[in-house]
A and B are shown apart, each in its own frame.
Chain A
Amino acid sequence: MNETSILSKADLLARTLTMLSETVERYDLFADQMDVVNNPEAATIFRWLSDKQNSRTEVVKKLSEGLELPHISPWDYDWDDAINTEVPGHSSAHYMMTPYHTLSLAIDVEQSAAKLFSEIERNAQSPETGKLARSFAREAKEFHEYLIYKRSEHPVPEVGWDEDHDPPQLLE
């Protein structure tokens, strides 16, 4: 997302809604992928993350009631795997990822979102937009801290965690 282009409350809400709903879809997709590869631990965490983000999406939807939100084309968001991680990239998933990795992925997402909203607050062109961005940044920071706590409940993966003893390689 290009923080310099956030001009109004409606613009900020439109972009935040897209960002959150795409994150929900991505976590759901990752959960489905983990089901397919028989990684129920990661699948459960992704579903929990999806629920959490969905609750935040509902809050933003409520804030948007009565406002006419602008349509923003996808390419005007400027986020992708390489530059921003407010929405987790498709390439972030690995079939052998552990709960530690799963929560680390979400920690990166929240850290990136908090940074983005703080920048929007700094560059906001109206106090109303700034206040809203500040509240979004605070929310992302709080969730970020909670995720770090949750991650501490899981062991740090050992070196070679992704070593597959039955690799999908052509052996013949």
Chain B
Amino acid sequence: METANPCPSLKPKDYKSGTKPVWCPGCGDYSVLLAITKAMAEMNLSPENVALVSGIGCSSRLPAYLNVYGFHAVHGRALPVATGLKVSRPDLTVLAAGGDGDGFSIGGNHFMHACRRNVDMTYIVMDNQVYGMTKGQASPTTDPDWDNSKLTPGGTKINPYYPLVVALASGANFIARASSTDPNGAAKVLVDAMRHPGFSFVHMLSPCVTFRPEQKDWKKMVRQAPVEPTTDPAVAAKRLMTDDNFFLGTLYKGDRPAYQPELKATVDNISDLDKGFIL
């Protein structure tokens, strides 16, 4: 395989912190954690050169479970923090992660602008179409007729958000979907995403077995997209607009140069920094 590392010196478990996850038994996020560690091992990344920034929610617990630098940010604000980190430390491999509520609702505006800015990082959204941590409310990606929450009797009756379409329209440079039901396949997508320059968006299907038990059937519904990644946004747009949400693999690989501002020299002392603010 083109992305294989001939001989990784670290094993996937070396990227785990030892803190035991408290996700529900059966949760898809366990597989996502495994896929991330497998991807890092395949890339032979030094843990001290990797940072993962998350928002708030079940999936945003990820940094605690990894042996890399981590930051558990404010709700919906993983991307601004990750952006700041990457532009000031371009030598790091930066990942951002969170759930569908955190990424597409509370942090929806940041998602669009992170795609537009095209800073070189990878954003993993673990989508289970529900707010799990707050005990099961409809999220932006929930189907309009899902009515298991008493907050939305009869369903939301609102069309769900299509994150891949929004990502393409906003300028993301790499768009892919993976599934927690196939952590090995997900690891490959993550390796490709981390290696691709610019903003890479990975839509990760990750069932919530507690509040959306019917999502266990996703493993029978996901399938590899029968297409090669395209570099043509028009082809990608058609592909994503007709997507049924269960095609896996890399769907778009753009060639926009990543945004990286010129770094200013570090100030020697705090009073020098102060001068910059004097009118």
Q: A-side interface residues toward B, CB under 8 Å?
A: 25, 29-30, 32-34, 36-37, 71, 73-82, 89-95, 97, 168-172
Contacts and interface: CB of A to CB of B under 8 A. Distances in A.
Contacts of A37: 24-25
B192 to A, nearest CB: 10
Contacts of B6: 71
A90 B8 contact: no
A92 B26 contact: yes
B218 to A, nearest CB: 9
A78 B188 CA distance: 12
A74 B184 contact: yes
A36 B22 contact: yes
B1 A90 contact: no
Contacts of B38: 74
A50 to B, nearest CB: 14
Given A37-B25, A75-B187, A90-B31, A81 B182 contact: yes
A81 B181 contact: yes
14 contacts: A30-B25, A73-B3, A74-B38, A74-B42, A75-B1, A75-B185, A76-B4, A80-B182, A82-B220, A89-B181, A90-B183, A91-B26, A168-B211, A169-B135
A95 B1 contact: no
Contacts of A33: 25
Given A80-B183, A95-B26, 4 more contacts: A75-B185, A169-B136, A171-B150, A172-B150
Contacts of A29: 30
Secondary structure class of chain A's binding surface, majority of residues: loop
A75 B216 CA distance: 22
B222 interface: yes
B260 to A, nearest CB: 30
A73 B1 contact: yes
B13 interface: yes
A32 B20 contact: yes
Contacts of B42: 73-74
Nearest to A77: B184
B151 interface: yes
B184 A71 contact: no
B5 interface: yes
B181 A82 contact: yes
B149 interface: yes
B17 interface: no
Contacts of B220: 82
A25 B182 contact: no
A128 B68 CA distance: 42
Interface in B142-172: 148-151
Nearest to B135: A170
A94 B26 contact: yes
Interface in B16-60: 20, 22, 24-28, 30-31, 34, 38, 42
Contacts of B13: 25
